[in-house]
Amino acid sequence: MAKAGGAGAGVRRPLVSGNWKMHHDHLQSIRAVQDLGLRLGAADVASLDVSVHPTFTSLRSVQTVIEDRAIPVALGAQHCHHDDQGAFTGEVAPPMLARLGVSLVIVGHSERRQFFGQTDEVVALTVRAVLRHAMTPILCVGETEEEREDGETEARLTAQTTAAVKGLSPEQVAGLVIAYEPIWAIGTGRTATAEDAQWACAHIRGVVGEVAGAEGAGAVRIQYGGSVRPENAAELIGQPDVDGALVGGASLEAATFAAIVQAAASVVLTGR
């Protein structure tokens, strides 16, 4: 059963994504996805989508395991360049990911923005590049602790969302995934309250509505990310505008990640 809550008339199927960040070499990644495959049954994924996002060096190995064992998770990447090819040493181009069977790409993660200088402009270009190759961007937005304390959360979310979404067609917007990831909650164990997550996701949906129309706003899936664990996943994903989770640390162990997926599935099945 998909989700119809929140602003707009859309019906949305939640997405639970595991961002492995710079963890797991390709052998560890193979083991992790095999383990996940043993833990996730058809019932767990009947009502939602699941994706894993290994490092570039693990993508091919994980893709092979997923395909070989028919594991019901989508393959995702953590980043890409916005050009299709070129003299950009160390970068990976969107068509290379598409060729590997990648269907989702995280774009503008706060760690890319903070440590690698990714600007709103580059994020917008990358969203378009991912869409151009028929993959789904997971656009990350979120405020710093300082911005939160200064009462700038709303303005920050508005600016980041607007910069990335402006100019996209209604169909493109409807197919997007946005992840609300407050930076102060990432890897800190300080999860946003369900009320805060709901408020922020509803605000982002409202911004999408203003920039791109009600149809896209009703359909766009908005995840929450930041210290999601099996114990708090159901309450967070139970919020009407929270359409899943982007999970970092707790996605590395298959048992923990599967428990988050199962918590999410239970809340989707029982309605929220």
Interface residues with ligand 13P (CB under 6 A)?
Answer: 19, 109, 181, 186-187, 225-228, 246-250
Q: Cβ 167 to ligand 13P, closest distance in Å?
A: 25
3-state secondary structure 186-222: CCCCCCCCHHHHHHHHHHHHHHHHHHHCHHHHHHCEE
Question: What CA–CA distance (Å, rounded) separates 65 from 192?
Answer: 34
E strand residue ranges, the chain: 15-19, 49-53, 74-77, 104-107, 136-141, 177-180, 221-225, 244-247
Q: Which is nearer to ligand 13P, 114 or 169 (CB)?
A: 114
Q: Cβ 207 to ligand 13P, closest distance in Å?
A: 20
Nearest residue to ligand 13P by CB is: 248
Question: What CA–CA distance (Å, rounded) separates 246 from 257?
Answer: 11
The enclosing H or E element of 250 equals none
Q: Which is nearer to ligand 13P, 211 or 222 (CB)?
A: 222
3-state secondary structure 108-150: CCHHHHHHHCCCHHHHHHHHHHHHHCCCEEEEEECCCHHHHHC
Q: Cβ 193 to ligand 13P, closest distance in Å?
A: 15
Q: Cβ 86 to ligand 13P, closest distance in Å?
A: 27
Q: Is 181 a catalytic residue?
A: yes
Among the listed residues 109, 111, 147, 203, the single catalytic one is: 109
Among the listed residues 111, 143, 147, 181, the single catalytic one is: 181
Q: Which is nearer to ligand 13P, 157 or 212 (CB)?
A: 157
Q: Which is nearer to ligand 13P, 114 or 270 (CB)?
A: 114
Q: Cβ 272 to ligand 13P, closest distance in Å?
A: 21
* Helices 26-39 + 254-269 axis angle, to 10: 40
Q: Which is nearer to ligand 13P, 157 or 247 (CB)?
A: 247
Question: What CA–CA distance (Å, rounded) separates 56 from 22?
Answer: 10
- Catalytic positions are 109, 181
